[in-house]
Structure 1
Amino acid sequence: MRIGAAAAKGLCYALDIPLIAVSTLQALARQVAAMTASAKDMLFCPMLDARRMEVYSAVYTHNGQEIVAPTPLLLDSDTLAEQLAYHRLLCFGNGAAKFQPLVTNNSNASFLTGIEPSAVSVGN
């Protein structure tokens, strides 16, 4: 990915054309928000597996506004406690399954399986 991104960046620079970068986490959040009923009432938390008990994650509103910036998170029962205390949080992505057993007692935590990044959501 880095080599491809560097090649695209070099071509765009040489040809004086803009390069538009899209965050995978934000694209995932928008993808799920678009297919979720009552999306305005919750926050969206894409989680990408980073091995062991870590994920790359962020938190967004239904319209893509960033609440928690993209960051690596070490998962434990206190992870995202502030958001879970006041909001319904929908977690998804290939790292969300690691977080689910840590917050089973929190009724604000919801999980969605089978979500993979799709270029279709980027174009919408």
Structure 2
Amino acid sequence: MKVTIEETADASLETCENFLLDKLGLPLDRVEAISLNLIATTVERLSTQPHTYPVCRLALELGIGHYRELLIDGYRIVYRLWPEQEQVSVYLFAHQRQDFKQLLFEYQLMY
């Protein structure tokens, strides 16, 4: 299945990187390695098994049932599956310690 990293995912990954640098004090080279690994693992898993992962619980609680959530090493990846187009769209990357609900609103994923 084709995996597309949407603009909101790019922007949220940058926010996540800043969180790791500023709040957790990780060195830049470590943050860059984490980001690259996160993208590679996300694409690998979602291109082969997008149906495996559950509906995003928090989005569902807010009335949005079409997002799914993949967890990788303490990171949340929010995506939508488009079976008729055989495509997966990744919309959000977040560290588990970031305010997830705020990120959903900030990146306007509550539609």
TM-score of the pair, normalised by structure 1? 0.29
Larger Rg: 1
Give the structure, 1 or 2, with the largest relative contact order (CA under 8 Å, sep 6 or more): 2
In terms of fraction of residues, the more helix-rich structure is 2
